[in-house]
Each structure stands twice: as structure tokens, then as C-alpha cells.
Structure 1
Amino acid sequence: MIKNYLKVAWRNLSKNKGYSAINIGGLALGMAVTLVIGLWMNDELTYNSYFKNKEKIAQVFQSQTFNGNVGTGPAIPLPLEPALRENFGDNFEHIMMSSWTQTSYVKYQEKSISRTGNYMQPNAPELLNLRITKGDKNGLEDVNSIMISESLANAFFGKDDPIGKVLKIRNQYDLMVTAVYEDIPYSNSFNDTDYIIPWEHYVNVTNADWIKNSLDNWQNNSFQMFVQIADNTTFESVTNAIIDVKKKADEEVVQYNPRIFLLPMEDWYLRSNFEQGKQTGGRITYVWLFGIIGAFVLILACINFMNLSTARSEKRAKEVGIRKSIGSQKGQLIYQFLSESFLVVFFAYLLAIVIVLLSLNGFNELARKEISFPWNGLSFWLISIVFVLFTALLAGSYPALYLSSFKPVDVLKGTFKAGKYSGLPRKILVVVQFTVSVAFIIGTFIVMQQINHAKNRPIGYDREGLIQLPTFAEDFEDKTDLMRSEFKKSGAVMEMATSSSPTTRIWSNRSGFTWEGKPEGFQEDFAWTEVSAEYAKTLNLKVVEGRDFSRDYASDSLGVLINVTAKKYLGLENPIGLLLRDTDIEDPDPPLKIIGVVEDMIAQSPYDPVKQALYVYDRSNEFSYYNLRLNPKQSMRQNIAVVERVFKQHFPDIPFEYQFVDEEYGEKFAAEERIGSLSGIFTALAILISCLGLFGLTSYVAEQRTKEIGVRKVLGATVFNVWNMLSKDFMKLVIISCFIAIPISYYVMNGWLQEYPYRVILKWWIFALAMLGAMGITVLTVSFQAIKAAKSNPIKSLRTE
């Protein structure tokens, strides 16, 4: 029986090749989109699946309140570790301190490369379940040891055994390799951890006085902590136990209402956004958004199948009538039509797989993923079977029920008519199709507008021709003046300055200041960057009040520049000369004197307000970057080559690395641009699928009304009259779709924009443009068949009369 169903289904498909091609092509596109989105969603939802104890691992976060605004983040104070171990140790299987992931120069013999890694406590391999391929899992017990990834081991040693070899870190410290661990895959936290150095080395060997001074300082939030909770506990119960530990330990921090809590590993990637101390989601929003897009695109493809199948009902009516008259039951006819649906979907799925394979590399590049097709995944193929069956039922159920309901008496007597309202379901489905398509157009347009709105925002400095060189080694100390002179003398560099943070980031925040006129109870919080005298000049950062740093004034070593936002934050008309005093009674720093106000400079998200910032004259000589303003009169390639030559003359053992500031700034838009690009592609495919269905319906309507068109032409109808007759019904449907899609799109996109403090304002013309675009696409799609029918010879269509 099934064989017979499939045989008849194949005959019907091969007999109507044009409609079959449209059906299979439309479904294939829809299924390909759904497949790609499904693979992407799976990659997002299984992030951090590499870690065996994922459901028990968490990072310690804290929320603090500044002037009524609650800020939340993973930075915690160093004394929190002993406090948790001593008072709450039973709640944890592991407590592990960690530095922030940082870049270091790693050298073996004459070879030196740059890699990222962390300082961690000895239980890191156990907590993270690192898969040790060589050496000892307890390799971090020795303060002068290092564990390295397989990729780093291969880069230095190839097939040789790395255990026992000595690597030089930051061109300063000799560390012995005690273990090699398997590279952590891409879609996981710590995937950029190429080395792990003992925490004790960070605290006791690196000679960083600020770390030692932080051992009992509850106000210095400069560290990370990861934990694995005990088996008999939950994240909620442990959080309830430790939430006020900082507040109870130090009376001075009570004013900030610090609250310590655990953020589970499964939330690090997908639910890491917080507003006013409350978890508000994160990338999970985009996961469900694309899931909805994938579902709608598949529905659009299924609608095409339904429309074309029911539109051709009169051609199948006689077949149904004859089958019923010789004893076929309604259920048998339903199975027959579902078999046709299954065959179409099966071929479409095979074509969809080919489309996915051809597009996966490009998709990975656009989405910054490393997704591979799961050929060996049994669960994938089981899901595929369910997917094909579900799609076949979704696409074929309505046509099967509709076609099997015809009465054989009416059909065989020739009195069968589709009925006055038989086309209503098709019209509704077309409206649904174009409502979704128009909504996609509006959504994509608004996303791109928001990105461009932020891109066109004044950033306060000139990023063109500006590069930064990382200086993560002791070799750079006390050579600032020499390198500035050498770079400028080379002719490739106009000016150079150092900074403790990259131009496009804020690495440090400071509080604990008082000043004349400070309001009672005011809780200050400043972005803090230490810079050399030429910083503003190098960045072309405009000084709007007061003056810039000058090497001619020795007193500028205690000077500070503030940005315009900081002036407003301080609430002073004239801040020049104001002294910012340290409130640390036991070990106060000298007061800082404001000498100038500079333009606001975007260093954080371009979608957020600029933070109040202090640019302090670098007295400690602990900078992290050289900032170079290149010569605009020479080519970029020539400038970079000269800068590299000068750099290598003075630092032959350090790899030459540089970053274009404009590219680094562009990375701030990367997530939104990826979303916009993917949305644009999916929107284009949704429109294409809708147009395929519209094209098929138009061609069928034209074929159905061939004689009517012939009569009209004989009676004097023009090409325009015929075109208008065939097009106006579809245009009405699209207009209805637009009026449904516009309010829905406005509501959804306006809600999305509320997440951005700096956002575009929705204008009426955005929706009008989308409406015109949809109408234009409809006209183009319908016109091809309409004009073709209008130009056909009426004699041919009337010859049988």
C-alpha cells in the first residue's frame, strides 16, 4: 500500500515539474534556514559543555550601589577567599582564585610568541576538569611551574616532550613545564587559556606591590573567583549563606551595600546581563529570537506548499471523485496526499542538507563560530527524521484534508466548483506570509539603523592612523622617552604616549576621593587611566577647559585631566584647580589637581553613556600600551614597516604586535552587526520563499483564467488592463499584511531598543519604506506572469471554444 502511495506521488510530481520545483525549492530553502539556525542554537545552548561539572561550577559575582545605581560584575576583593574558606568551606568542593585572562610573551630558546592565559590556584585542573595529556595534574603545586595547552606545546616543541622544559614568561620569569592539557574547544569559557601559572607566583614572585597590598583590602575589587559547590548544596542556598559576607567583614564598604552571589556556569554566556542588580538575560534573547525566525521561515515554506496544492484542487478533483466512486475511503486519500507531501519534503530535506553544507563555512565566518555538520551524531539524525515527518504533516495536512473532502457525485457530474470562499484560506495564508516578511524587513532595518546610529556617534578622539602596541614585559620599563624619541625620529610616527589601558577599554575604576563641595553621602566612581604627558596630543583628544599635561611643569606629576562627563558629575562650573584627596587615612596618596577638561571619549560600549573619567599622569611607569599616531603623509604599510624595524632594534626578543584602534573600536559593534547581517540574510530568504509561492500562485491563476484573458483581449483590453486584473488581488493582500506587520514590529523593536540607553528614535518613514518595499517586491513577482499572460496570443486560448 505504502509503495503504491509513493508511486502515485512520484507520478504526480514528475507530471507537474514546474510546481514540484517551486514546492521542493521553497521547502528546501525553509528547511536549510531552520537547519542552520538549529545548529547555531545548539552551539549556543551547549556552550561550556566541555566542562564535566558544569552544573556545579559558578563564578563569584557582586553587586554594589553607587548613588542609587546598582552595578554588578565578577570583580571581587582578595580577602573574600579566606573568608569563604574559613566560614563557609563546607558549601564548596573547590574555591579557586584567578587573575583576569591576560596576554604574555612566552619564550623558549630563541623563539618568542604572544599567548593568553591565567594565574590560577593549584586546584584549577580539578575544578575545570582539564584533560591532561602529558605530565602531572598537580603540576601547579610548584610556584615556578607552568601548565600549557597542546597547541602552545606544539608551537614550541613539536613532537618533542615538553615536560621539564623551561619557558620564559614576559621575558622575565623562568617557569618549568609540568603538564600539557588538551585545548579547550572554541565554544567554551577559558578556550583562550593557553597557559596556567600558579597563583602563588602571581602574588609572591611578580613583585606587584598592589597585589600584596590587596591581601586584606576589601575595597580593591581586582580579582576573579571560581567555585564548585558541594554535592549536597545548591547555588541558591550557598548564595543565601554568603550574600552579606563582605558587608559583615568591613564596615567601610557597608555604604555600597555589597552583595556576594554565585553565577552558575550555564549563565556565564547566555544570561550575563544585569540591571540594577537583577539578572535580565543576555544572548539567550538572540537564541530564542533566531529560533522564532527559523520557525517562521519554515512555516512560510509550508504555506507555499499548502497554497499551491489547494490552488490546483480542480485538477485533482476528478482523481478524487474516481477514487471515491471505486471504493477509496477518505482516510486512504488523506494517506495518499500525505505521501506526496512526505516525498516533496524528503527531496527538499536532501537539497536542504546540500545548501547547508555549501553555506556552512560562510555562516561560520559571519557568525564567528566553528560549527561542523554532525554526520556522526545519532541524535541529529533522529531529530532529522522527526523534523521531516513534522514538516510533511505541517505542509500536507491542510491540502490532504481539503482535497479528500470533495464529493464524488459533484465531481463526476461536472458540477464541482471550488466555491465562493474556497480561496479564502489561501488568501489568509498569503497574508500570514507577507506579514512575517514585512516584519522581518522592518526588524532588520531598525537593527542596522541602531548600529549606524551608534557608529556615527562622536567618539571624542581621532582613531584613524592610531595604533597601539602592547607592552607586557619588564623590558619596556624606563624606556618611554627613548622609544618616543626613536619612533618620532623615524618619520613614521608623529607622536607617542603610554597608557595603563587600551584606548577602547576601561581596565580600572577608582573611588575613595573627597573634594571641596562634595555632597554629603555622595558615592563617587571614576574610570581611571594612567597616561604619559602626550596622551591627549597623540589621540587628538581636545582640551575644552584648562590645559593639557606638560613636561615643563614638575607639578603635573600630580595633575589630572577629567572628561566633560566628570565635570558634570562633580557638579562644578569651574573644576580647574580642584584637589581630589584620597580618603585612605592610613596610607593616603598625594592629592590630585585638576588641570584640564577634555572631550568625552568613548571607551566602553558606544550604546551606553560615557562614564566619568580621570586621566592621571603616570608616575609609577606601569603602563600597558604604547599609543602611536602614524604619519598621514606616508602609506600605512610603510609606517608599520618602519615602526617594526625600530621596535625590533630595541626589543629583539619580544614579538612585534600592534592593533589598529579603529579596528578595535569596530569590534564594539561586532555582536550587533552579526545579528543584523544574519537577520538580513534570513529576511532575504523569507522574502524569496514568499515570492516563490506568490510566483506559483500567479502562474496558476493566469493559467486558470487563460480563456477569460483571451476574451478580454479580443474585446480591446490592453496589457495594463490584464496586468491590473491579475495583480490587484495580490496587492490588496500585501497591503493588509503591512497594516498587520507594522504595529507588531513597532511593539517588538521598540522593546528591543529600550535595552540601549543611546538609541535611535523610531520614525514613521521606516515603516512606510518597508511597506513600499514589500509592495514593490510583490509587483515585480506578480508582473512577470501577469505580463506574460497579457501578451499571449488570444487565438490560442480561444481555439477550443
Structure 2
Amino acid sequence: MLKNYLKIAWRNLTKNKAYTLINVGGLALGMAVTLIIGLWIQDELTHDKNFANKAKFAQVFQSQTFNNNTGTGPAIPLPLAPALRNGFNDNFKYLIMSSWTNDSYLKYEETYLSRPGNYMQREAPELLGLEVLKGEKDGLREVNSIMLSESTADALFGDINPIGKTVRISNEHDMMVSAVYKDMPYNSSFRDLKYIMPWTHYVNTNEWIENSLDNWGNNSFQLFVQIAENTTMESVTNAILNIKKDANEDTAEFNPRIFLLPMDDWYLRNNFENGKQVGGRIKYVWLFGIIGAFVLLLACINFMNLSTARSEKRAKEVGIRKSIGSQRRQLINQFLSESFLVVLFAYLMAISIVLLCLNGFNELARKEIEFPWSNPGFWLVSLLFIAFTALLAGSYPALYLSSFKPVDVLKGTFKAGKYAGLPRKILVVLQFTVSVAFIIGTVIVMQQINHAKNRPIGYDKEGLIQVPTFSQDFEGKTDLMREQFINSGAAVEMATSSSPTTRIWSNRSGFTWEGKPEGFQEDLAWTEVSPEYAKTLNLKIVQGRDFSRDMATDSLGVLINETAVKYLGLENPIGQLLRDSDEEDPNPPLKIIGVVEDMIAQSPYEPVKQGLYVYDRHFNFSYYNLRLNPNQSANQNLAVIERVFKENFPAIPFEYDFVDEEYAEKFAAEQRIGTLSGIFTALAILISCLGLFGLTSFVAEQRTKEIGVRKVLGASVFNVWNMLSKDFLKLVTVSCFIAVPIAYYIMNGWLQEYPYRVILKWWIFALAMLGAMGVTILTVSFQAIKAARSNPIKSLRTE
């Protein structure tokens, strides 16, 4: 029986090639989009899947309150780890202190490169579940040891066995390779962990870390944990919540709260607002899941519409089959088998589309998704997906077509009925409601991105590069390098800074000043700079003056931004002193000599943070900032700068970043979401238009004789076009008026997440409506004009 169903289904499909092409093509596009989105969602949901202990793995986070605003992050003080070991050791299997992931220069013989990595405590390889390929897993036992990832070892040593070899780190320390471990997967939180060095070495070689052993106020470290088997994240968090407040009175005023953030939440739910977890990338998982479901629904609607539109052509077939004994159940099975065959062909075509597009999609989405050929779970889900789609697409046509009465059909008195076309109209309205909502959403996302991009950033990012200086070799050479870079003609100015231009690495508190409100808890961004910093970045001085090398007192001077003036409540900031409130070991007071225009160093969607730019008298810099010569090409300037750099630092690789590119990265996530949404929206519109094209074709075919009569009686091409088009335009207009309030509600809610956001304007919605109508007119017009221009003699000669 099934064989007969499939045979008849195949004949019907091959008999109506245009109809089949539209149906299969539309379904294939919808299924391809759903497949790609499904693979993307699966990759998002399985982030960090390589960790067998994922359910027990967590990072220690901290919330602190400044002036009723609570900030949350993973930065913790050094004494926290021993306090947890001493008081709560039974709750943990591992407690691993870690530095932040930073680049270091690695050198072996004549090969040197820059790679990111961490200093971590001895049990880190066990906690991370590292797969050691060479050497020993306890590779951090010796204080001068280093563990390398496989890719780093290959880049440094090639075919040589690296175990026991010595690697020079930042031209300062010699470390012996104790192990080589397999690189972490791309969708892992530790994918940038290209080396690990012992925590004890980090402490022994940095005096500031030794000074932080009992300092609860220096939040400069990370702490990763694995909780014990007999505990839960919630119970451990409840136990340790107030440990910092109880252990240290000096920080109690900030109401510090210590808690565990499970690994499951690191990637998808890592956003906090006023101390509360408010989601994160999980919103994009939901967004694309909804888009995938709706795009598939649009494709299924096409199938339903085209199948029911052809009902009169199938009416005689249904009547004859019923008259010779076919039951309704058999007819339903017949039409569902046709649906299954169409969906199967569409799925095979969809897989081909996915394979063709996957590399481009990976590049756009910054993923390394592979097609899961060998995953039996994927094929099981695919089978269920095919069956579900076939039922979804074929259920209504099967039930509708099998309900025809054979007597009416065979007598020729069968009529579809006054409301027979109502379901099709509802489905068309649903299709274009979704499409118009997608258009509005995509336009608003891109508007928000452009709104932030066009925001004044307070400095000139064009022609500005930053060169990392993570080595003691750079100490004492700042003035020499500045002179050489400028004299080379490749740079017009150079300055150093303790943070990159596009980020804030340090925050300070504990200051007093004249007029400070009682109980005020300040939180200030802190950047140490050389005197030429404002000049190099083209920062605008709005009050006072810039640093001057000719004035010795400027070594205790400070520039503040406009936000800091308001934040500190200073009416006349120039000359004001910021004093250290630490009575036991006070630093000299800082004198405000100038106010600079606000400069965006964090998120362009957030307000500018109050900041201090302090004269770097301790040479605590991490970057050279160079303003390139605008009268020469960038390539020419960089070649000269590299030559000068290598003359002075031959053992250090020359690396640089264009500040404008670094700044553009701040928009990368939203830009990718906007671009992907735009692509999926275009495909949704295309699928909707395919269905509209098919419906117009069948309407024109059904009304062939009517069109012929009208033309004989003098109807113009425009009259016929208007007759065939107006119904569809009415449906799309209804769709627009349904889509607009829905899109407004959703997108307005999305924009509330951004303090600096675009204002929704009426023209966005009007443009989407006009666009939908324009696309409808173009789609319908092709068939309408073709029918209007046809020869009426051909359609009437049988009468």
C-alpha cells in the first residue's frame, strides 16, 4: 500500500513541475535555515561540553555596592582562597587561583612568538581535565616549569620533543617544558589557554602580588573551583556569601557578596544588573530559535496554501477514488505520503544548501561548526524533523482534500464555497506578519548599532596603533623609543599607558577631597599615562591644561574626565587635591591640573565611566600608543616602526593593533546578530514571496476564462492586473497593521537593555510596510501581467 501511495505521489509531483519546484524549493530554504540555526543553537548550548566535571565546575564571583549601585564580576582578592581553604575546605574538591589570561613572549633558540596563557595553581591540570600528550600531568610541580598546548609546542619546536627544553618567557625568565597538552576546543571558555605556568612563580616574581597576600581590597585575581560531590552550588554559595565582609572590616562598607557562578552560566547567563543575574547570550539562543521556527512555519504555510489552492484540480481524483471505495483515512494517508515525499526531497536539498553555506556561516558567526555526519542523534532528530514537518505541512491539505463529497464532485456541482479561501488568506496574513516583524526588528538592530557607532568617542582613533610592552626589556627606554619613532618620520607622537585605549583595566577608590559627601563610596577608572597621552590620542582639554615635562610638580598631577567632575561634585576642579584616605600608608595627594572630554573606553552602549589619567611616574605601562604620520601610507609607517622596534628589541616579536579595529570589536556581537537576522529576514521574505508567486499563478490559471471574457469586453492590462493584485495587497496591508504593534512591543523591550539607545521613529515602521507592499506588488505583478497580456482567443476557444 505504501508503495502505491509513493508511486501516485511521485506521479503527481512530476506532473506539476512548477508547483513541485516552488514547494520543494520553498521548503528546502526553510529547512536549511532551520538546520543552520539548529546547529548554531546546539553549538551555543554545548559550550564547554568538553569538561566532564562541568556540573561541579564554577568560578568565584563578587558583588560590591558603591552608592547604591551594585557591580558584579569575577575579580576577587588574594586572601579569599586561603580563607575558603581554611574555613570551607569540605565544600571543595579543587580551589585554583589564576591570573588573567594575558599574552607573553615565548622564545626557543631563534623562534619566538606571542601566545595567551595563565599562571595557575598546581592542581589546575586536574581541574581542567587536560589531555596530556607528552610529559606529566603534574606539570606545574616545579616553580620554573611550563605546560604548553599542542599548537604552541608545534609552533615553537616543530618536530623536536619539547619535554625538558627551556623556553624564555618575555626575555625575563627561563622555564622548562614539563608537558604538552591537547588544545582546548574552540567552543570552550579556556580556548585561549595556550600555556600554563606555576602560580608560585607568579607570586615570587611580582612584588605587588606578595604585598596583596593580606590585602582584601585588591581585587586583581581569579579563582576557579570544583565543589565536592556531596554539595550543591546553592549550598556552597550560601555558606561563603559573607566571608569577605566577616574577614575584613575595611571593605565591609561596600557590602561584598561572594558567590559561585556555575560553568553552565559562564557563556549564556553571565550578565548582571545591580547584583542580579539577568541573562546574557541565552536571549540570542531564544531569538534564533524563534526565527528558525517561524521560517519553517512560513515554508510549511506555502505547502498548505498551494495544496489547497489546487483543490479543484484534485477534486475529481478524490471523487472517483471515494466512489470506488476509498475511505477517508486512505485518502489522508495518500496526501500525507505526498507531503512526506516533498519534505524528504526538500530535506536532501536543505542539507546540500547547508553544506554549501556552512563555511561562510562559520566565518560570519565566528564559529567552527562541523556537519554532524557521524552523530546518530542528529539523524534521529532529522527523521523526527522530517516527520514533524511533513505532518505540519500536509495535515491541513490532507484533511481538507479528503473531505470532498464524491456526488457533488462527479456531478460537476462541486464548489469550493464562499469561505473556502479564508484559511489561505489567514495563512498569507500570518506569513507576511512574521516577515514584516522580521524587517522591523532587523532595521532597529542595525539602527541601534549605528547609533552607538556614531556616538562621539572623545578621541581620534584613526591612524592610532597600540603596541603591547609585556616585558621588562621596555623599562627605561620610553623616552628613547619616543624619540626614535618620531625621528623616523613614521609617527608624529607616542605615549605610554597602563591600559589599552579601548578598555579599563584598573579601578581605584579610597580618596578624599574637599566637599566629599559623608558616606560617599567612589569608584574611579584609573589609567597611568606618560605626559604626551592626551596629545597622542587628540584628547580635547576642556578645562585647565595638559601634562608638561617641564613642570616637575606634574608628576603628582592628574587629568580627569568630564563625567568625573560631575561624579565628584567639583564646581571648580582645577587645583583640587585627591588625597589617599589610607592613614597608615598614605600616598602623596594628586592635584587636578586639567579636565578632558569624555572618552569611551568601555561599552559604547553604556555611559562613560568617571576616570583619572595619572602621570606614570613609576613606569607602570603596558602599551606604546603611536599616532602614525598621516602624510604616509599605513604600510609604509608600520614597516619603519617595525624596523626601529626590532633594532631595540630584537628578541621580542613586533605586534600591534589598530585602535579603530579594536573599537569596532565592541560592536562585533550585535553586528553579527544584526547581519544574521538580516539574512534570515531576507530568506523569510523570499519564502513568503515564493508562496505568493505560486498562489498568484494558480489564481490566474483558475480565472483564465474570466480574464479572457474581460479582455474581449475591453478590459485593459491594468484592469486585469488590479483585479488579480488587490486581494493580495489587502492581505499584506492587514499583515502590516498586525506586525507593527507586535514588533514595536518586542523591540522597545529589547532596547531597554541599553542605557544609550536609539529612539524608535515612525519611518522605520512605514519603511517596513512599504517594503512589504513593494515586494508583494513585484511578486504578484509578474503573473498578473503575464495573464493580462495573454491572448483571450486561447482561453475562450473551447467554449
TM-score interval, smaller chain:
over 0.9
What displacement does 1:603 show?
0.3
What displacement does 1:213 show?
1.3
Amino acid at match of 1:35: L
Give the equivalent residue in structure 1 for 2:279.
281
What displacement does 1:589 show?
1.1
Give the equivalent residue in structure 1 for 2:552.
554
1:182-331 matches, cutoff 5 A: 182-204=182-204, 206=205, 208-331=206-329
- Secondary structure of the 2:701 match is helix
> Taking structure 1 as the reference length, what is the TM-score of the superposition?
0.99
User: Structure 1 residue aligned with 2:622, among 617, 621, 624?
Assistant: 624
Amino acid at match of 1:121: Q
Residue-by-residue CA offset, 1:406-432 (whole Å, 9 max, x unaligned): 011111111100000000000000000
Higher alpha-carbon deviation: 233-242 or 790-799: 790-799
Residue-by-residue CA offset, 1:464-498 (whole Å, 9 max, x unaligned): 00000000111100000000000000001000000
1:633-672 matches, cutoff 5 A: 633-672=631-670
Give the equivalent residue in structure 1 for 2:178.
178
Give the equivalent residue in structure 2 for 1:567.
565
Give the equivalent residue in structure 2 for 1:138.
138
Q: Distance in 2 between matches of 1:212 and 1:580?
A: 27
1:51-450 matches, cutoff 5 A: 51-204=51-204, 206=205, 208-450=206-448
Q: Distance in 2 between matches of 1:304 and 1:708?
A: 25
What displacement does 1:139 show?
1.1
Q: Distance in 1 between matches of 2:3 and 2:99?
A: 66
Q: Distance in 2 between matches of 1:551 and 1:209?
A: 29
What displacement does 1:209 show?
2.1
What displacement does 1:579 show?
0.6
What displacement does 1:52 show?
1.1
User: Structure 2 residue aligned with 1:756, among 749, 754, 760?
Assistant: 754
1:470-549 matches, cutoff 5 A: 470-549=468-547
- Secondary structure of the 1:37 match is helix
Amino acid at match of 1:285: K
Asked if 1:765 corresponds to 2:773, the answer is no
Q: Distance in 1 between matches of 2:582 and 2:164?
A: 46
- Secondary structure of the 1:464 match is coil
Q: Distance in 1 between matches of 2:213 and 2:559?
A: 30
> Taking structure 2 as the reference length, what is the TM-score of the superposition?
1.00
Give the equivalent residue in structure 2 for 1:731.
729
- Secondary structure of the 1:555 match is helix
Give the equivalent residue in structure 2 for 1:706.
704
- Secondary structure of the 1:760 match is coil
What displacement does 1:159 show?
2.3
Q: Is the 8 A contact 2:78 2:213 kept in 1?
A: yes
Identity of aligned residues (%): 80
- Secondary structure of the 2:250 match is helix
Amino acid at match of 1:581: R
What displacement does 1:789 show?
0.5
Q: Distance in 1 between matches of 2:590 and 2:108?
A: 43
Residue-by-residue CA offset, 1:717-765 (whole Å, 9 max, x unaligned): 1111111100000000000000100000000000000000000000111
Q: Distance in 1 between matches of 2:582 and 2:109?
A: 46
Q: Is the 8 A contact 2:496 2:624 kept in 1?
A: yes
- Secondary structure of the 2:492 match is strand
Q: Distance in 2 between matches of 1:165 and 1:400?
A: 73
Residue-by-residue CA offset, 1:678-734 (whole Å, 9 max, x unaligned): 000000000000000000000100011011111111111111111110000000000
- Secondary structure of the 1:622 match is coil
What displacement does 1:141 show?
1.1
Q: Distance in 2 between matches of 1:197 and 1:445?
A: 48
Amino acid at match of 1:623: F
Amino acid at match of 2:580: D
Residue-by-residue CA offset, 1:185-210 (whole Å, 9 max, x unaligned): 10001100100000000001x2x222
Q: Distance in 2 between matches of 1:405 and 1:586?
A: 91
- Secondary structure of the 2:578 match is strand
Amino acid at match of 2:454: N
Q: Distance in 2 between matches of 1:118 and 1:195?
A: 7
What displacement does 1:329 show?
0.6
- Secondary structure of the 1:211 match is helix
- Secondary structure of the 2:12 match is helix
Residue-by-residue CA offset, 1:535-567 (whole Å, 9 max, x unaligned): 000000000000000000001100000000000
What displacement does 1:252 show?
1.3
Amino acid at match of 2:729: M
What displacement does 1:161 show?
1.2
Give the equivalent residue in structure 2 for 1:605.
603
- Secondary structure of the 2:251 match is helix
| Structure 1 stretches lacking a partner, 5+ long | none
Amino acid at match of 1:34: T
- Secondary structure of the 1:146 match is strand
Q: Distance in 1 between matches of 2:123 and 2:582?
A: 35
Q: Distance in 1 between matches of 2:618 and 2:143?
A: 27
Q: Distance in 1 between matches of 2:34 and 2:582?
A: 59
What displacement does 1:211 show?
1.0
Residue-by-residue CA offset, 1:152-202 (whole Å, 9 max, x unaligned): 111112222111000011111000000111000100011001000000000
Q: Distance in 2 between matches of 1:154 and 1:213?
A: 37
Q: Is the 8 A contact 2:108 2:157 kept in 1?
A: no
Q: Distance in 1 between matches of 2:136 and 2:90?
A: 27
Q: Is the 8 A contact 2:433 2:739 kept in 1?
A: yes
What displacement does 1:518 show?
0.2
Higher alpha-carbon deviation: 624-633 or 570-579: 570-579
What displacement does 1:48 show?
0.3
Q: Distance in 2 between matches of 1:771 and 1:122?
A: 62
What displacement does 1:115 show?
0.2
Q: Distance in 1 between matches of 2:279 and 2:473?
A: 43
Residue-by-residue CA offset, 1:367-397 (whole Å, 9 max, x unaligned): 0000010111111111100000100000000
Q: Distance in 2 between matches of 1:237 and 1:65?
A: 23
Q: Distance in 2 between matches of 1:629 and 1:281?
A: 39
- Secondary structure of the 2:394 match is helix
Give the number of equivalent residue pairs. Answer: 799
Give the equivalent residue in structure 2 for 1:3.
3
User: Structure 1 residue aligned with 2:791, among 781, 790, 793?
Assistant: 793
Amino acid at match of 2:354: V
Residue-by-residue CA offset, 1:311-335 (whole Å, 9 max, x unaligned): 0000000000000111101000000
